[in-house]
Structure 1
C-alpha cells in the first residue's frame, strides 16, 4: 500500500477548547487512517496476522465480512495479502462518509471489482453463510448491552467452521496494572507525535463513547454465544486480538 499518498495528519485535538464527544464525522474520516496508524499499536501486524488465519481456514468462494470497515484500509490490505484466493470481500459500516472514502481508495488500488462496501447497521447484520467476520476496534463502540445479541447474531450467520476475528482496546480489573498499561500506551502516542493536550482531549472525547471490556469478558461474550474455542492470538498491553471458531 506504499503507492498511496500519505493520509492527512490527525490534528483534531490540537486545541484547548472542550472537545465534542467522539463521532465518525467528516472531520474524523479525513484523518482516520493517520489516526489508526499512530493510535493503534501494531495495527499493520494485526492485519497481517488476520490474513494468516484467514488463509488457513477459508475455502474458494468464501465470503469475508469486515464489520466497521471504516475507510477500507484493512480490507484492501487483506485483499492484497490473499491475492488469488477467489474470495468475496465485503466491508460494512454505518458511516456514509467512511464508505465514500473506502470506495475511492478501493478504486485507486484497483480493488473496486473485488470488494463490496455496504451501508448497514452491524448490530442487525444478516449475512448467512459467511466464512469469516473481522471486527477490529469496532465492538468497543457498541453499547455493552447490545454486544451479547451481536455475538449471537455473528455466530448464527457464520457457516460451520467459520471464524470470528476481533481486535479491541481492553481494560484490566486490577486498577494499578490497568493504570500502568494506559501510561505505557500514552508513552507510545507521545513517541508517535501526539502532544499531552491531544492525548488528554482525545481521551475526554472518547469517554462514555468507547467502553472496553477486559480480555476475559470478551472471551466469555463469544463463548456464551457458542464459539469454541475463543483464544487470543496477539496482545500488546491493553490491546488484544482474539480468534473465535464456530464448530464445524
Structure 2
C-alpha cells in the first residue's frame, strides 16, 4: 500500500484550518508521524514488548485512538497470552477504513496473530470490557481536558489485576526555560526531517486549538486521581514521553 509524503502544509494558506484526521491526513499519516514525533518507532514497537508483560489470558487489549493501527500491529506481533484479542478504536472513519486494510495485510505476512476488531467509536463514550492492556498512543492530548479524568477512571475500572495502561503523550513543561528549549529542539528535529519553516508554522497553527498537552506532573496527578497506584515513565525523547500506569 502506497504511502505519500506529507506536503499538507507546504503551500501558503490564507487561513489555516484546525487540524482534523480526515482522508488527506490519513493518506500521509505514516510519513507525518515519523517526521514529527521523535522516538515514534521505538515507542510503538516497545508498546508491544511491554504489553506482552502485562497481558493476561482471555482478556481484551485495547488500542484507543488507534489511527492506522501501528500499536495494534505491535500488540499482535508480541503478545502470546492465550485467548487475548485486540480491539482497535478510533473516531475517524478514514483512519478506521485504512487501519482495517493494513491489518489485513499484516495477516498475510504473519502466522498465529491475535484476533483483532477495528471499531469506529468515540472512546469517551465507549463501554469498556475487562482488559489487561490499554494503550493510548498520543490520543489523550486530543481529548477535551474536562473529560480526561473520567476517561482514565473508566480505563482503571476496566483493567484486571496485573494489567496496565500504556500512555504516550506530547509534554509541556512547567519550567519556562525547559519548555522553550525542548520546543526549539523539537522544531530542529522537524527541520532535520525536511519540513520547511512554512510547514512547521502552519502545522503548529492548525494543531494548537485541537491538541492540548499536559505536563508530566499533571499526568501523574490525574492518573493517581483516577485510581492508578503507580505511574512510571519508561521513555522520553525531547518533549514526547510514554508512561506505564498500574492499577
Q: Normalised by the size of structure 2, how large is the TM-score?
A: 0.93
User: What does 1:184-223 align with in structure 2 at a 5 Å threshold?
Assistant: 184-223=185-224
Moved over 4 A (4+): 83-86
In the alignment, structure 1 residue 143 sits paired with structure 2 residue 144: yes
Determine if contact 2:172/2:214 at 8 Å carries over to the other structure.
Answer: yes
Deviations 1:25-51 (A, max 9, x none): 111111111111111111111122212
Name the structure 2 match of 1:10: 6
Task: For residue 84 of structure 1, report the CA deviation from its aligned partner.
Answer: 7.2
Task: For residue 183 of structure 1, report the CA deviation from its aligned partner.
Answer: 0.5
In the alignment, structure 1 residue 36 sits paired with structure 2 residue 7: no
98, 103, 107: which one aligns with 1:106: 103
Name the structure 2 match of 1:125: 126
Are residues 113 and 181 of structure 1, via their aligned partners in 2, closer, same or farther at CA, if it must alter by over 3 Å? closer
Task: For residue 205 of structure 1, report the CA deviation from its aligned partner.
Answer: 0.3
Are residues 35 and 125 of structure 1, via their aligned partners in 2, closer, same or farther at CA, if it must alter by over 3 Å? same
Structure 1: 5+ residue stretches without partners: none
Cα distance in structure 1, aligned partners of 2:182 and 2:82: 38
* Partner SS for 1:231: strand
* Partner SS for 2:218: helix
Cα distance in structure 1, aligned partners of 2:74 and 2:210: 28
Determine if contact 2:91/2:120 at 8 Å carries over to the other structure.
Answer: yes
Cα distance in structure 2, aligned partners of 1:29 and 1:61: 32
Structure 2: 5+ residue stretches without partners: none
Name the structure 2 match of 1:77: 74
Determine if contact 1:126/1:157 at 8 Å carries over to the other structure.
Answer: no
In the alignment, structure 1 residue 47 sits paired with structure 2 residue 49: no
Are residues 12 and 114 of structure 1, via their aligned partners in 2, closer, same or farther at CA, if it must alter by over 3 Å? same
Deviations 1:158-209 (A, max 9, x none): 1222210000001001112101100000111111111111111000001121
Are residues 23 and 169 of structure 1, via their aligned partners in 2, closer, same or farther at CA, if it must alter by over 3 Å? same
Deviations 1:40-82 (A, max 9, x none): 1111111222122211122232211000001112211331233
Name the structure 2 match of 1:60: 57
More displaced 10-residue stretch of structure 1: 150-159 or 195-204 = 150-159
Determine if contact 1:125/1:153 at 8 Å carries over to the other structure.
Answer: no
Q: Normalised by the size of structure 1, how large is the TM-score?
A: 0.93
Task: For residue 157 of structure 1, report the CA deviation from its aligned partner.
Answer: 1.5
Cα distance in structure 2, aligned partners of 1:43 and 1:127: 27
* Partner SS for 2:214: coil
Cα distance in structure 1, aligned partners of 2:79 and 2:178: 38
Deviations 1:130-157 (A, max 9, x none): 1111001000001111111111111111
